[in-house]
Amino acid sequence: MKILAIESSCDETAAAVVEDGRTVHSSIIASQVEEHRLYGGVVPEIASRRHAEAIVPVVTQALEQASLTLDGIDAIAVTYAPGLIGALLVGVNFAKGLALSTGLPLVPVHHLRSHIASNYISNQELKPPFLCLVVSGGHSHIVMVEDYTKMKIIGRTRDDAAGEAFDKAARTMGMPYPGGIELDRVAEGGDPLAFKLPRPTVHDAPYDFSFSGLKTAVINLLHNSAQKGIEVNKADVCASFRYAVVDCLCTNFIKAAQDLGVDKLVIAGGVSANSLLRRTLSDECGKRGWKLYMPGKSLCGDNAAMVGAQAYYEYLSGNTAGTDLNAYATMSIEKG
Ligand code: KG4
Ligand code: ZN
């Protein structure tokens, strides 16, 4: 079954053709990041406008790259939640139009479920059940993926998402948006033990995260040093901060796996590209004899191939929509 998938939840307009949830025939991404960088973050109104401009050429290119026309497509899939509402609506309305004009089924896909599904492309043998750490710019969850479309949240952030904390710390150090990638790169040359940063925990919720105190601690460290005229080594700050965030993520994720008796672990979302997170989890899982699956680095960020992958399983479970499909800024991954 070949699915034409569309993604427009944030600042990437993307389309892809994916067969049976696993084989990517094409994947096109038009990124708006350069424009948003001027403002230090995503400007929702600009994002919606750029999606509206890019969607026709991006979908056309996805079909061309797959050497297909709409006649060779079996279903249309689209990210419908969560995300920027104006941005989501561009993809949803376009997908509804395509489904209506072709008579093809329309499959709504939850953005975080699609991040998890990027792993079905990178790891062809991977099947649920497994425990997944979903870490993106807007969310940080530990999710038990009981089946392709059945998920249970085990832990979540109480405030900032991990990606958001990375981006805000990076911005304070003058790095361009989205700073997480640059912070990760600079951290490679620093000492993770140079600065002592807190590891916040949430009382009575051992799997939940809290990153805002950690973010404030690093921002205070930078501001205090600047006020006193002390020059701090940027690489050391990046390395210490990255170590603290990754430590919090891995501690709770491993504890959850241990407590639940799960030995198959998966990571997903933009922050799953983080070098230290990948290394630490590989080591920790290796020591325990657990299996760890990660998306290829090109599939960690937003793309439509992952939407096409998840859509296949949503379709098989009977999850299709009519032309009354709406977009939602927030939506639990459990409801999907
Ligand atoms: O999943 P994603 O592409 O978009 C959302 O759904 O939010 O995640 C984007 C987030 C940004 O905060 C970005 O800074 C972060 O992922 N990110 C990273 C790395 N690469 C991307 N954070 C830390 N280390 C990285 N290597
Ligand atoms: Zn995302």
300 alpha carbon – ligand 1 mean position (Å): 8
SS3 288: helix
Is the pTM here over 0.85, yes or no? yes
Nearest by Cα to 123 from 293, 302, 269: 293
Token pair recorded at residue 290: 């657990």
pLDDT at residue 49 in the model:
98
| Angle between helix 234-260 and helix 275-288 axes, rounded to 10 deg | 40
Which helix (H) or strand (E) segment holds residue 38: the answer is none
pLDDT of residue 13: 98
CA 316 / ligand 2 centre spacing (Å): 23
**Topology, domain 128-294:** Nucleotidyltransferase; domain 5 (3.30.420)
Q: What is the CATH number of domain 2-116+299-316?
A: 3.30.420.40
Query: How far, in Å, is the centroid of ligand 2 from the Cα of 263?
Result: 25
Pocket test for ligand 1, best of 136, 141, 218, 331 (most atoms within 8 A of CB): 136
Burial profile 163-200: b = 16 or more Cβ within 10 angstroms, e = fewer: bbbbbbbbbbbebebbbbbbbbebbeebebebbebeeb
Q: Tell me how far apart the terminal alpha carbons of the chain are, to the nearest angstrom.
A: 21
pLDDT per residue rounded down to tens, the chain (336 residues):
999 999 999 999 999 999 999 999 999 999 999 999 999 999 999 999 999 999 999 999 999 999 999 999 999 999 999 999 999 999 999 999 999 999 999 999 999 999 999 999 999 999 999 999 999 999 999 999 999 999 999 999 999 999 999 999 999 999 999 999 999 999 999 999 999 999 999 999 999 999 999 999 999 999 999 999 999 999 999 999 999 999 999 999 999 999 999 999 999 999 999 999 999 999 999 999 999 999 999 999 999 999 999 999 999 999 999 999 999 999 999 999
- What is the reported pLDDT for 228? 97
For the CA of 137, the closest atom of ligand 1 is 7
Structure tokens at 269: 């979302």
> Best of 12, 271, 276, 297 to mutate for ligand 1, by most ligand atoms within 8 A of CB?
271
Q: Do the domains spanning 2-116+299-316 and 128-294 agree at the CATH topology level?
A: yes
Q: What is the pLDDT, as a whole number, of residue 252? A: 98
The CA distance from 47 to 32, in Å, is 7
pLDDT score of 71:
98
The sheet with strand 23-31 has its strands ordered as 23-31, 12-19, 2-7, 75-81, 106-110
Scanning the structure block, which residue is given the tokens 């922050």? 271
Ligand nearest to the CA of 167: 1
Q: What is the pLDDT of residue 188?
A: 98
Distances (CA, A) of 243 to 140, 162, 177, 210: 17, 12, 20, 15
Residue 27: predicted pLDDT: 98
Of ligand 1's atoms, which has the minimum distance to the CA of residue 170? 14
SS3 70: helix
Spatial separation of the C-alpha atoms in residues 218 and 173, rounded to whole Å = 10
Token pair for residue 159?
Answer: 């405030």
CA of 322 to the centre of ligand 1 (A): 32
In ligand 1, the atom with minimum distance to the C-alpha of 163 is 12
> Which pLDDT does position 127 carry in this prediction?
98
Separation of CA 65 from chain center: 25
Ligand nearest to the CA of 138: 1
Nearest atom (ligand 1) to Cα of 301: 3
Tell how far the Cα of 7 is from the centroid of ligand 2, in angstroms: 10
Rounded-to-integer distance, Cα 81 and Cα 88, Å? 7
Kindly list the domain boundaries of the chain, sorted by start residue: 2-116+299-316, 128-294
Q: Which of 7, 157, 164, 181 to mutate to test the pocket of ligand 1 (most atoms within 8 A of CB)?
A: 181
Pocket around ligand 1 at a 6 A CB cut-off: 10, 115, 136-138, 163, 166-167, 178, 180-181, 184, 269-271, 273-274, 301-302
pLDDT value at residue 331: 98
